Amino acid sequence: MKLHWTRILTFLTLAAGMMPLRATTPGALPGEGLYGLYFNSNDLSGSPIMRRTHRQIDFAWGPGSPGEGVRSDNYSVRWTGFLEAPVTGNFTLSTLSDDGVRLWVDNEKVIENWTDHSPTINRSKALALIAGKRYKVKLEYFERIGGSTMKLLWSYPGQADQPIPQVRLYSPDEIFYLSDLPWVSAKGGWGPVEKDRSNGEMPSGDGKTIAINGLKFTKGLGTHSYSEIIYNLDRKYDEFYSTIGVDDEVGNNGSVVFEA
């Protein structure tokens, strides 16, 4: 795979993530969100039509489709990943769904309402969670017909119901990022290509935290035109997701063309 940058007036940051069989946008500090598989069936059968990492599960799609290629009715979604408790205490997980929903935490089913219904709140029993510990999550949802809503919330002492924030949601294991893989070659137009930081100036390692449109990234590549970065992926991956843009540290002083 070859990535080219041309006509860039100033520093460019490429932030990209890859993993076997799928890829995900790199994690903002510190959580990535949950990874979703979308099916054109209401029972999670068939091949996924769309794969996407969501910062939060906080959707009100109404009568429309949730994404390219997914039907507006009779579809289903499975999200997987981990949640991390910010404090130690009893948590209640809740869903607001239209239609069916079921939720597992560490392989224990804590919510099930796998029925056609109008927007409905379902709540788990009290879950004793430990601050800083990550718990495996699986959330399944189907939409039959009409309006569609799916939200995943929590509450705990001192915190009323809120959509679980991105910083507390993590994608499944086995995520691979370009910046963690060895490249065949990398040439930057101003100093070296930087891993997991912005381009900076001429010295190596002088970049800052990558930020695009206010979103900070722990993983990614920082470079400046004209640049060429070549990876040999050896047919190990069949999807690629990336976030590409001019780093926030230079404001509106740049443009970018991406070719793959």
Average pLDDT for 106-127: 97
Mean residue pLDDT across the chain: 83
What are the structural domains, with CATH classification, of the chain? 2-23+175-259 (no CATH), 34-170 (3.90.182.10)
On the question of pLDDT at 54 being above 60, the answer is yes
Q: What confidence category does residue 131 fall into, taking pLDDT thresholds of 50, 70 and 90?
A: very high
On the question of pLDDT at 30 being above 60, the answer is no
Tens digits of per-residue pLDDT, 60-97? 999 999 998 999 999 999 999 999 999 999 999 999 99
Half-sphere exposure at residue 70, Cβ-oriented, CA atoms within 13 angstroms: 28
Q: How far apart are the first and last CA of the chain?
A: 7
Residues 17/196, Cβ–Cβ less than 8 Å: no
Question: How far is Cα 31 from Cα 218, in angstroms, rounded to an integer?
Answer: 10
Residue at 128: amino acid letter: A
Nearest to 192 by CA among 182, 202, 183, 180: 202
Residue 88, both tokens = 């130690």
Q: What confidence category does residue 24 fall into, taking pLDDT thresholds of 50, 70 and 90?
A: very low
Average pLDDT for 135-154: 97
Running DSSP on this structure, what letter comes out for residue 63?
T
Q: What is the pLDDT of residue 172?
A: 79
Q: Which residue has the tokens 């540290």?
A: 249
Q: What confidence category does residue 238 fall into, taking pLDDT thresholds of 50, 70 and 90?
A: low
Highest mean pLDDT among 9-23, 45-59, 72-86: 72-86
Tens digits of per-residue pLDDT, 154-182? 999 999 999 999 999 998 765 677 888 88
Q: What is the pLDDT of residue 173?
A: 60
Which is higher by pLDDT, 173 or 20? Answer: 173
Q: What is the pLDDT of residue 239?
A: 58
Q: What confidence category does residue 130 fall into, taking pLDDT thresholds of 50, 70 and 90?
A: very high
